[in-house]
A and B are shown apart, each in its own frame.
Chain A
Amino acid sequence: MATASVPRTARPVVRASYVRRIFSADSLAQAIFLVCALAILAVTALLVWELWTKSSLSRDKFGLTFLTKTDWDPVAGNFGALPFIFGTLVTSAVALILAVPFGVGAAIFLAELAPPKASDAMTFLIELLAAVPSVIFGLIGIFVLVPMLNVVVPVLKDDVGLGIIPIFSGPFYGVSLLTAGVVLSVMVAPFIISVSREVLLAVPRDLREASLALGATRWETTWDVVVPYARRGIMGSVFLALARALGETMAVTMVVGNTPKIARSLLAPGYSIASVIANEFAEATSNLQVSTLIELGLVLFGLTIVLNGAARLLIMATAGKVSQ
């Protein structure tokens, strides 16, 4: 191209420098950087493509009924995803019910009350808790939490009388939806704490000062002024936590009981989308089973994408710099 557009009479120096500019180390470097940036788009697109095409067998056979059927019988080739969707949603809901009040409380303390140095030190420790691998939470779940709940739950159920509430009825074997929810709550709480703390710290100082100057107590200032201002960011942190809880595999698999049934009681064993993929994928006997498991992966992918997107928008709405 370059040679064609340059007349023969042109000074060769100009042509050489033009060619050199095109192929210079500088633009070559830029091209490499750009290719890598585009590679991320390619990898993500390929991920979606593979999930979509590799689940076609299942999608063609079951259609949308896949999401509403309740039986899971690999031998008969009959697959329904509802028990797993149910288990995933229930364990995540339990996790949030436990972790949100607790996490927001801790975030308020760290952002509003603790001296900055102590706050930083404690946040550091809480963030280390977030770095603990999930399989280790599973280990503690199996060998510490399950025996502990085996002592505590019968007392609460029979002696305190919580057993008459339907969601706490029925026999308890240690592994259950409740157990998985408790383990998940410990795993997601650090996310809620550290993101909410940052959002609270981004609330302008004037607001606090104005409220205190009007005679509000420290708590009233926090609860009626600071928290409402940071409301959306806190919601964002909860969504992030939910996205993580939905996709969490190991800790749930180890304590949920792995039973594909829809139970009324939280004390009954259940199953989750991620757990069934982890347990059955390597041993799947038919192409159809692999395909259904991949479709479950697609469902999980869709759920987390929506939640993550919503979380990011909410956090950005409160404090632009926190989202980075």
Chain B
Amino acid sequence: MRRDPGRLSFRRKAVNAIMLNVTGVCTLIAVGLLFFVLGYLFVKGGFSLNFDFFTKLPVPVGEMGGGMANALVGSAKVLLLATFIGVPIGFLAGVYLAEYAGTAFASAIRFVTDLLNGVPSIVIGIFAYAIIVIKIGFSTLAGGVALGVMMIPIALRSTEEFLRSVPVPLREGAMALGATKSRTILTVVIPAAIRGLISGMMLNLARVAGETAPLLFTALGNQFWSPGWKQPTATLPAMIYEYAKAPYEDWHRQAWAAGFVLLMLVLVVNITARSIVAGGFSHKQR
């Protein structure tokens, strides 16, 4: 069966050109969306932001002004607690997987970790509710536990990945000099991977810093300062949610300001972490 070769080739060329351009447009839209989100928050949030935001407490409905100082401190406390819970467990388990575990045991742990990582954050919130809130009530502690559990899987996987990227001869060198295995890990392997480890932890923190859902019924929220660890506390993401759904113009302005602050925090930490690890590869080759 013969076809007109000229026409066929024209059609093929046309399909080629059109489809390739379509894929380019898809990419541009995806990148454009980021700039749209960034730009919109810069404009809306940047103009809504003032000094009071960082220093004052929220004001009752009807009064103008006020800030979210308590939410900033609350978020910091919750994240600090989460880091103390999630990072050590994830990190040490990651060391075990990278340096000790046999293949079958390692893949079992890895499987469970991926499973835990895939659990929706709201379900982790229920878990923290079940083990903490039922006993001591809505509190900073419960919020910290929820986010801490969320940090474990990523802390583990990033630790394992970066330790595995350390060349084996470094370990052999240390052991040939008579170091025990744990000393080798502590003084040779971990220092060699330190940039990757730090950046992994930063990305992990940035990820949970924006989490809202599990905080709604663990940390709950608070219009005032939360004195200790066993009282409900305001957090920045939960505050954004609460203020965005309220029907007051001034609260919306505050929500945009809070969104701007949160987004900047998350993006700055992300970009810093990624540039740390980009520098780390040249370090490793030396």
Closest to B113 in A: A40
Residues of B within 8 A of A248 (CB): 120
Q: Does A230 count as interface, using CB distance less than 8 angstroms?
A: no
Nearest A residue to B156 via CB reads A40
B267, A250: Cβ atoms under 8 Å?
Answer: no
A50 within 8 Å of B by Cβ? yes
Q: Mark A118-134, 1 if CB is under 8 A from B, else 0.
A: 00001011101101111
Q: How far apart sit A226 and B101, CA to CA, in the bound complex (Å)?
A: 36
Q: How far is the CA of A30 from the CA of B181 in the complex (A)?
A: 9
List chain B residues, Cβ under 8 A from A50.
126-127, 130-131
B138: A residues at CB distance < 8 A: 282
Is the CB–CB distance between A51 and B123 below 8 Å?
yes
Residue B237 at the chain A interface, CB threshold 8 Å: yes
Bound-state CA distance A246–B93 (Å) is 29
B156 to chain A: which residues have CB within 8 Å?
Answer: 40
Do B112 and A126 touch across chains, with their CB atoms under 8 A apart?
A: no
Across-interface contacts of A124 in B (CB, < 8 A): 274
B84 at the interface (CB under 8 A from A): no
Partner of A217, one of B13, B24, B180: B13
For A118, the closest partner residue in chain B by CB is: B27
Give B230-270 as 1s and 0s: 1 = Cβ < 8 Å from A's Cβ atoms: 00000001001100110000001001100100110011001
Partner of A46, one of B92, B115, B131: B131
Within 8 Å by CB of A282, from B33, B216, B266, lies B216
Q: Is the CB of A44 within 8 A of B116?
A: yes
Binds B, one of A11-19, A63-71, A137-145, A154-162: A137-145
Task: Report if B50 contacts A (CB, 8 A).
Answer: no
| Nearest CB in chain B: distance from A242 CB, A | 11
**B282: Cβ under 8 A from any A Cβ:** no
Instruction: Give CA–CA (A254, B252) in the complex, Å.
Output: 13
The one of B34, B185, B186 that contacts A129, using a Cβ cutoff of 8 Å: B34
Q: Is the CB of B37 within 8 A of A136?
A: yes
Determine if B16 and A25 form an interchain contact, defined as CB atoms under 8 angstroms apart.
no
Task: For A133, give its contact among B12, B118, B182, B212 (CB under 8 Å).
Answer: B212
> Residues of B contacting A274 with CB < 8 Å?
120, 122, 213
| Contact across chains for B119 and A304 when beta carbons are under 8 A apart | yes
Instruction: Pick out which of these stretches binds chain A: B58-66, B191-199, B202-210.
Output: B202-210
CA distance A247 to B30 in the complex (A): 22
Which residues of the other chain, A, contact B33 by a CB distance below 8 angstroms?
Answer: 129, 186, 189
| Contact in complex: B15, A33 (CB < 8 Å) | no
Does A207 sit within 8 A of B, measured CB to CB? no
Q: Are B95 and A139 in contact (CB under 8 A)?
A: no
A231 to B98, CA, bound (A): 31
In the bound complex, what is the Cα–Cα distance between A278 and B119 (angstroms)? 15
- Asked if A301 contacts B119 (CB within 8 A), the reply is yes
Residue from the list B23, B34, B113, B185 in contact with A108, Cβ < 8 A: B23
Q: What 0/1 pattern do residues 294 to 308 of A give for CB contact below 8 A with B?
A: 100100110011011
Which residues on the A side are within 8 Å of B104 (C-beta)? none
The CA of A140 and the CA of B41, in the complex, are separated in Å by 9
CA distance A41 to B112 in the complex (A): 7
Most chain A CB within 10 A, of B89, B185, B244, is at: B244
Are B24 and A113 in contact, CB atoms less than 8 angstroms apart?
yes
Q: Which of B115, B127, B210, B267 contacts A308 (CB 8 A)?
A: B115
Within 8 A of A (CB), among B119-177: 119-127, 129-131, 138, 149, 152-153, 156, 161
Q: How far is the CA of A294 from the CA of B134 in the complex (A)?
A: 13
**Cα distance A2–B159 in the bound complex, in angstroms:** 36
How far, in whole Å, are A63 and B93 apart by their CA atoms in the complex? 39
Interface-centre pick from A28, A43, A113 (highest chain B CB count, 10 A): A43
Indicate if the CB atoms of B93 and A131 lie closer than 8 Å.
no
Is A265 interfacial (CB 8 A cutoff)?
no
Alpha-carbon distance A128/B270, docked complex (angstroms): 8
Q: Which residue from B126, B149, B182, B266 sits with its C-beta under 8 Å from A29? A: B182
* Min CB gap B274→A, angstroms: 7
Is A281 positioned at the interface, with any CB of B under 8 Å from its CB? yes
29 A-B pairs with C-beta separation under 8 A: A26-B181, A33-B96, A36-B91, A37-B101, A39-B89, A46-B131, A50-B131, A105-B25, A109-B24, A109-B27, A113-B24, A122-B27, A128-B270, A129-B37, A131-B210, A133-B263, A134-B210, A135-B237, A143-B244, A219-B15, A247-B121, A249-B212, A250-B237, A281-B125, A282-B217, A282-B220, A300-B122, A300-B123, A308-B118
Q: Which residues of B contact A (CB under 8 A)?
A: 12-13, 15-16, 19-20, 22-27, 29-31, 33-34, 37, 40-41, 44, 88-93, 95-97, 99-101, 109, 112-116, 118-127, 129-131, 138, 149, 152-153, 156, 161, 180-183, 185-186, 206-207, 209-213, 216-217, 220, 237, 240-241, 244-245, 252, 255-256, 259, 262-263, 266-267, 270-271, 274
Q: A residues touching B (Cβ–Cβ < 8 Å)?
A: 24-26, 28-30, 32-37, 39-41, 43-44, 46-47, 50-51, 54, 102-103, 105-106, 108-110, 112-114, 122, 124-126, 128-129, 131-140, 142-144, 186, 189-190, 193, 217-220, 223, 243, 246-250, 253-254, 274, 277-278, 281-282, 293-294, 297, 300-301, 304-305, 307-309, 312, 324
